Structure 1
Amino acid sequence: MKNRKRILITGAAGFLGSHLCDRFITEDYHVIGMDNLITGDLQNIEHLFKLQNFEFHHHDVSTFVYVPGDLDFILHFASPASPIDYLKIPIQTLKVGSLGTHNLLGLARAKKARLLIASTSEVYGDPNINPQPEEYWGNVNPVGPRGVYDEAKRFQEAITMAYHTFHGLETRIVRIFNTYGPRMRLNDGRVLPAFIGEALRGEPLTMFGDGSQTRSFCYVDDLVEGIYRLLHSDYSQPMNIGNPDEITIKEFGEEIIKLTGTGQKLISLPLPQDDPKQRRPDITKAKAILDWEPKVSRSEGLKITLNYFKALTERELIHKDFALFNR
């Protein structure tokens, strides 16, 4: 058997982590998945357990991380990502972004591995400019309800760059914008699964405020391709990966109603504190450095995602759990 490159993927049982496991298995890596399963689901990766080049470690990266053998790469995707999750477990969210990242940086240094961390557009907070370029420093409330997630990601970037500059560690930072696709949790509180879940249950679609806030949705396969290219690039500064096709929440809700053919109405709830009014990535750097841009249209991606949600069990479809924030 030839020597495969070895990669550790944290948050492996989550939405993005599981798709990344699939991609690196396809690329013939030996994949070591790690997850404490607080928000992850083993069903997302159960199809990989039969493979010789996949192994799974049930572990919390906020504690000491040990992986035997060589490592070529580490992808750090362990973190709650939806408002429902990080409001329920704020301390764990902060710890995985700080202690977890520190532990994995130490592991990467010991193994001489390249580490890519998953940051997000939340580092920009409620932005004052649109679209958001990587040079924008953000508009974040560190003590607001969203601060536990926003500041965890900002610290994660800071300590990663410190290890890069001080220790010469090979690091990459991806800033992920709204992403969707199969394996999202229907009740995770983010806008797309929330809208689809409400439509399939025959309920009004719930938006916050007047729905004039904007989001930009990237299909998961496009995102994974961007991450794969960034990992293997020579670029160490933060890079936006997302779809710049911007749409208001109200328009998006109307798209979901039309797609599902359910005929519901949109209803409005009060706008939460610090809810971002705009989300649109400037992907100039990704285009120039990675030769990357999204390929899957929103209409195509939504059809695939809707079919995935339709296939869920009735028990999952009737589960109802609303977010406190417009995702």
Structure 2
Amino acid sequence: MTDAIVLDGVHKRYGEKRALDGLDLTVGAGTVHAVLGPNGAGKTTAVRIMSTLLRPDAGRVTVAGLDVRERASDVRRRIGLLGQHAAVDEQLGGRQNLEMFGRLYHLGARRAGSRADELLERFGLADTGRKAVKQYSGGMRRRLDLAASLITEPAVLLLDEPTTGLDPRGRAEVWGAVRSLVGGGTTVLLTTQYLEEADQLADRISLIDDGRVAAEGTSDQLKALVGGDRIDVVLRDASRLAEAAALLGSLDPLLDPDRRLISAPALDRMAALTGTVRALQEAGIEAEDIAVRRPTLDEVFLSLTGRPGTGRPGTGRPTGEQAVRGTEAAA
């Protein structure tokens, strides 16, 4: 498999602020690659460099096999870009927006019109193509924005936090649109703060912190770095937390008396669930809820960096065994 995007030792500073600090990233052609990280981790800076909107201070970047410094104009012809905020005109209709983008890319009136119709149909907007965009829902606007980024049929699509601010329905609509691209061979690089989004869409994930990769692998491989699944038990009586925790057989249970919660590693999902239910029943301990779940983004980030993943990043980085990269280390 060839590589559609390669970042090799990329650095970028804004005055005294270090945005990227030797970022290495490789994205295989025809795949969806998610870049996860909190606000300020360097995700948007990396996308702006890949899209030729910024020049790196150091390091090499190729997109679609082209160096972004030496062949910026050629790179722009081969990529589509969807930023964090919609770039469509709310006063125009959906079809008018797509035709306008087509004309801006010199497609010609006939080709711009036919391409607009193709994309409206592809993204489920054909029935609303003549409506003003101001009447669209959030999910519809993002689908239209996504369609506009594909007007020239790019080989590589860069999506910078495409579902930020959308409700669950709007997010699901965008996910469906992204999935439809992959079958056609488009390479998608997706930045996001949501592990769920990467779970749904990505073939591979790079988790970045403080401008460099902290961990990389599939979703399951990243979760395995923080101990895999956990079982959560909510009791009716907080006074029996310690007793119930002992029944779980875990060496490292977490107790939260305020929520009457026990959380412990679960090596085998079904065995942990059935075993816990049986043990609590035999001990006469009542539970309000029992669930097996996978780690959250905060838990993954906390394990790798020593701090939650949803706040502003600091200067700490994972060291030693925490800084695991590659499928062999994550498996």
Calculate the TM-score normalised by the size of structure 1: 0.27
Which structure has the larger Rg? Answer: 2
Higher strand share: 2
